[in-house]
Amino acid sequence: MPDSPSFRELAIEAALIRSSASVLGWDQETYLPTHAQTWRARQLSWLSGRHHELTTSEDWKLALQQAIEAADSPREQDSLNEALRQLQRSTRLPTSLVERESEVTSLAKHAWASARERSDFPAFAPEFEKILQISREKADLWGYQNEPYDALLETYERGASAASVAAIFDAVEPELVKIAKAACAHTTTTRPSLPPGPYPVEAQQTFNRKVAAALGFDFDGGRIDTTTHPFCTTLGPNDVRLTTRYDEADFTSSLFGVMHEVGHGLYEQGLEPDDFGTPAGSAVSLGIHESQSRLWENHIGRSRAFWSHWLPVAAEHFPQLGKIGLDDFLAAIHRSEFSYIRVEADEATYDLHIILRFKIERALVNGELAVSEVPTAWNEAFHSSFGLTPPDDRRGCLQDIHWSMGGLGYFPTYSLGNFNAAQIYASATRNKNIRDAIENADYRPLLEWLQCRIHQPGSTLNPAALVEHATGKAPGVEDHLAHLRRRYVEHTT
Amino acid sequence: MPDSPSFRELAIEAALIRSSASVLGWDQETYLPTHAQTWRARQLSWLSGRHHELTTSEDWKLALQQAIEAADSPREQDSLNEALRQLQRSTRLPTSLVERESEVTSLAKHAWASARERSDFPAFAPEFEKILQISREKADLWGYQNEPYDALLETYERGASAASVAAIFDAVEPELVKIAKAACAHTTTTRPSLPPGPYPVEAQQTFNRKVAAALGFDFDGGRIDTTTHPFCTTLGPNDVRLTTRYDEADFTSSLFGVMHEVGHGLYEQGLEPDDFGTPAGSAVSLGIHESQSRLWENHIGRSRAFWSHWLPVAAEHFPQLGKIGLDDFLAAIHRSEFSYIRVEADEATYDLHIILRFKIERALVNGELAVSEVPTAWNEAFHSSFGLTPPDDRRGCLQDIHWSMGGLGYFPTYSLGNFNAAQIYASATRNKNIRDAIENADYRPLLEWLQCRIHQPGSTLNPAALVEHATGKAPGVEDHLAHLRRRYVEHTT
């Protein structure tokens, strides 16, 4: 009789399945022909089913139990305990539900894209209804202490609860509104702008690659492609794929997008390859993932220190930049205004978009709002926060892909990411070597600090514990507010 | 107790697995980062293993048996009988061997590419040895009547045998040599050539797409990407991917490559989508596949009728073509010379490359030649057929990817494809409507004829029976020789 497989062997098999699905998902976003959607949905559903079957099998349970008994380091114990927590969640979902969800969301993404194109919410509503239904089923199967939304949030941010997020958001919202108003008012009085395009796509690609490499992204273990919706996905231990899109009128749109995705990519590339597939070698949460993307995009990418080095380099690729001074350039990229689209929002107004989405999806999941009521609820909330009414649903409740992916509970992690980014960056840059290196456009010391404190632990700590461990204090919003005030009220960074 | 799955359901599941592997294989050739090879090999190995497990399972056998008993049409019976033949072959291979082969060939492709780059046969030899070993193991497990090579050939061309292929090749070789010599001698005296480049890549892409669409390729169910080695692969019933490469000095290199792959693609797109995954909805053999690619590339693409319509269109994309007349253009694309590289060989010399490879790989598989002796054997045979000695192995025995993919037994199907292409094209164009339409650059009637007689039958007939059924006579070489004589000796087509 052959030895039964070890937990590590099974975890690698699960990672092979999940990462194969990621290849198919990446292709779905980048290159899939129009008529191939249905078959792709079935392929993904098959892979999801096999992954779920394996990770909830008796073999898996037994191997995990044996591994827990034999674990001989705290890191391994933490990793296996996390695997046990995931197992306890997974076993509550039947394989049929997992396969159904995979197929429904594959097709819903397609339905959403075409509904958004035509600004036709009713065309998406039936798919959204199915997804909401599946999400509620999952929440019920997983169980929760206070409200169904908690169970979904736990998928993305373990240890968080709707009530705790709501408390943070309620407390921070008035401060954010004050900052946003000041930032927008300042923008209206100054109106600096970038020299006009075109910024040719090829030159953007070359410059983006140069910056990505300087930040430490390894192109032998990853690549950058073009998609309508930028993302980062990991297809294997040495295969991290970023995507971006290009606007020839404004090179910073793609550049900051790439720096954002590079932040995600550096986290993935910073995980321990030998632990690939186990919690110790996996990203811990979306709120931590987003802290890395926001750190590189905003704290590095939009800073004076960065551009004092990179503006002359950019001018070699885009000659029109030769005419603009550093102060004007910074003023241009620090413009702030209340606008409709989250992914185009500036730092000063961004979190208000998130708070709005959190309130709506929490109400949806908890059964306090119907799918058909979403457009009205959205537009009313938007008007109250932003003083604007979206002219159509394309620029309102249809703008984001997340709900069509079944990602209810996902949105708040963006703001948690912003808060974490500021706290982590403030902590790292208390180190003079790191600060000095950044001034000299050398990002290695910062990256090494992040690798050691944030990336390498993988999922061996809860997100909140990871942040506390790395920065010396519990996660908070003060560093984020201070950062925004410095940049958007005092205009000093 | 749930109903046990039907054979159709299981066949679709197998197709989901195999086509998922095709997505990963396509990505491996197009976009995979350098350091991601090892993980990709493991992903592919896992998928191969699951495919083999499923298609040799007791469920599969039982469902197939039940389906055969219940089959109520000759088409279905033929399809299921072919499935049974495949099952009988598959069950002879253990899953471990299938997984090992998948992993070995994934890595060997990589080793081959770098050995070829450096023209370093000894660097590839150990991988080649492993592959040859696995091929022999497979031949022994499958069994054969006369020689191990038969068992491998059967994978690609069911019903063919090494002896029958050798008999055809031996008979045709002297005639081919005569034609090739006359063609090369003619080329030396005329020396017409295309106007010099550059032919910009973007203009080539636009023109290629226009031609591909005119031939009938459906871009909503397929696409064209760029790779070093052009190929066609099917990732689902509406997802046929072609690749090509570009040479700015000569637009015809990519164009004929695309027309070739479009021929493969039209076959795949012409199969019955409802039968996807079953033999009735699958291509029958490589020799038939290649007949479709060669038909569109050579019989359509290199013909006077084609260019009398398309040369003025090409001149709109490449202004330098405005200067060349049709006769000179045809003389340029009908140049023939003895050269080292198979994929760059012209029609008149191409089959000689194949005959050489067939002799060498037959000797390898049958144990009459050692891997280490391949470079010498190759160079001697090449000198005797072509009057030239390859200057290095990159231009000799290392030039082709096939052996690194485990494709021993594959090469002869290229020439069988050439022979079939000529016979099928001659038969189709006996129809005046088809001939007239082709003269008017309307390829639909020809495509419909092919769809009806060659594509739609899928694998319900043996390749030889399919050709006989479609053309009214057993497969032969006369139409091919007649075609070559007309074009390369008499210069009339």
Alpha helices, DSSP H, located in B228-303: 251-270, 286-294
Q: Is there a contact between B238 and A50 if contact means CB atoms under 8 Å apart?
A: no
Contact between residue B254 and residue B242 where contact means Cβ atoms under 8 Å apart = no
The whole-number pLDDT of residue B189 equals: 86
Query: Measuring CA to CA, which residue among A172, A143, A204, A121 is closest to residue A400?
Result: A121
At A4, the pLDDT band (50, 70, 90 cuts) reads confident
Mutate to test the interface with A, among B28, B239, B269 (most CBs of A within 10 A): B239
Between the CA of residue A239 and those of A24, A218, B162, what are the distances in Å?
Answer: 14, 10, 42
Q: Is there a contact between B20 and A16 if contact means CB atoms under 8 Å apart?
A: no
The whole-number pLDDT of residue A190 equals: 76
Instruction: Note the pLDDT tens digit of each residue in A106-165.
Output: 889 889 999 999 999 999 999 999 999 999 999 999 999 999 999 999 999 999 999 999
Query: Which residues of chain B have a Cβ shorter than 8 Å from any chain A Cβ?
Result: 12-13, 16-17, 19-20, 23-24, 26-27, 31-36, 38-40, 42-43, 46-47, 50, 218-223, 225, 235-239
Rounded to whole angstroms, the Cα distance separating B475 from B463 reads: 9
Rounded to whole angstroms, the Cα distance separating B233 from B24 reads: 11
Query: Measuring CA to CA, which residue among A47, A80, A55 is closest to residue A66?
Result: A80
Tally of CB atoms within 10 A around B343? 14
Cα-atom radius of gyration of chain B, to the nearest Å?
22
Q: 3-class SS at A194?
A: coil
Contact between residue A231 and residue A256 where contact means Cβ atoms under 8 Å apart = no
The alpha carbon of residue A121 is apart from the nearest alpha carbon of chain B, in Å, by: 25
Residue A409 has pLDDT above 70, yes or no: yes
Contact between residue B235 and residue B241 where contact means Cβ atoms under 8 Å apart = yes
The whole-number pLDDT of residue A102 equals: 87
pTM of the model: 0.89
pLDDT mean over A249-267: 97
Q: Which residues of B are annotated as a binding site for Zn(2+)?
A: 260, 264, 290
Q: What is the dihedral of CA A453, A457, A458, A463, to 10 degrees?
A: -70
Tally of CB atoms within 10 A around A58? 7
pLDDT mean over A264-280: 96
The whole-number pLDDT of residue B15 equals: 97
Catalytically active residues of B, by annotation: 261
Rounded to whole angstroms, the Cα distance separating A368 from A147 reads: 12
Which residues, in sequence order, are bridge partners of residue B224? Answer: B242
Chain B residues touching residue A17 (CB < 8 angstroms) = 46
Query: What number of C-beta contacts closer than 8 Å exist between A and B?
Result: 98
Q: Is there a contact between A23 and B27 if contact means CB atoms under 8 Å apart?
A: yes
What is the CATH number that goes with domain B162-489? 1.10.1370.30
Rounded to whole angstroms, the Cα distance separating B216 from B237 reads: 16
The whole-number pLDDT of residue A371 equals: 98
Q: Please state the domain extents for chain A.
A: 7-120, 162-489
Chain B residues touching residue A234 (CB < 8 angstroms) = none
Rounded to whole angstroms, the Cα distance separating B493 from B484 reads: 9
Q: 3-class SS at A432?
A: helix
Q: Is there a contact between B239 and A40 if contact means CB atoms under 8 Å apart?
A: yes
DSSP state of A473: S
Chain B residues touching residue A235 (CB < 8 angstroms) = 36, 39
pLDDT mean over B208-231: 95
Question: Over chain B, what is the mean pLDDT?
Answer: 95
Rounded to whole angstroms, the Cα distance separating A3 from A407 reads: 39
Rounded to whole angstroms, the Cα distance separating A334 from A298 reads: 10
Tally of CB atoms within 10 A around A492? 8
Query: Measuring CA to CA, which residue among A121, A126, A123, A150 is closest to residue A136?
Result: A150
The alpha carbon of residue A310 is apart from the nearest alpha carbon of chain B, in Å, by: 27
Chain A residues touching residue B16 (CB < 8 angstroms) = 42-43, 46
The whole-number pLDDT of residue B1 equals: 45
Strands B232-236 and B239-244: antiparallel
Strands B232-236 and B222-226: unpaired
Rounded to whole angstroms, the Cα distance separating B462 from B161 reads: 13
Residue B2 has pLDDT above 70, yes or no: no
State yes or no: A490 annotated in a binding site. no
Query: Which residues of chain A have a Cβ shorter than 8 Å from any chain B Cβ?
Result: 12-13, 16-17, 19-20, 23-24, 26-27, 31-36, 38-40, 42-43, 46-47, 50, 218-223, 225, 235-239
Instruction: Note the pLDDT tens digit of each residue in B226-283.
Output: 988 899 999 999 999 999 999 999 999 999 999 999 999 999 999 999 999 999 999 9
Q: What is the dihedral of CA B204, B205, B208, B210, to 10 degrees?
A: -120
Higher confidence at residue A259 or residue B343? Answer: A259
Interface ipTM: 0.89
Rounded to whole angstroms, the Cα distance separating B258 from B245 reads: 9
Which residues, in sequence order, are bridge partners of residue B240? Answer: B222, B234
Q: How far apart are the first and last CA of chain B?
A: 66
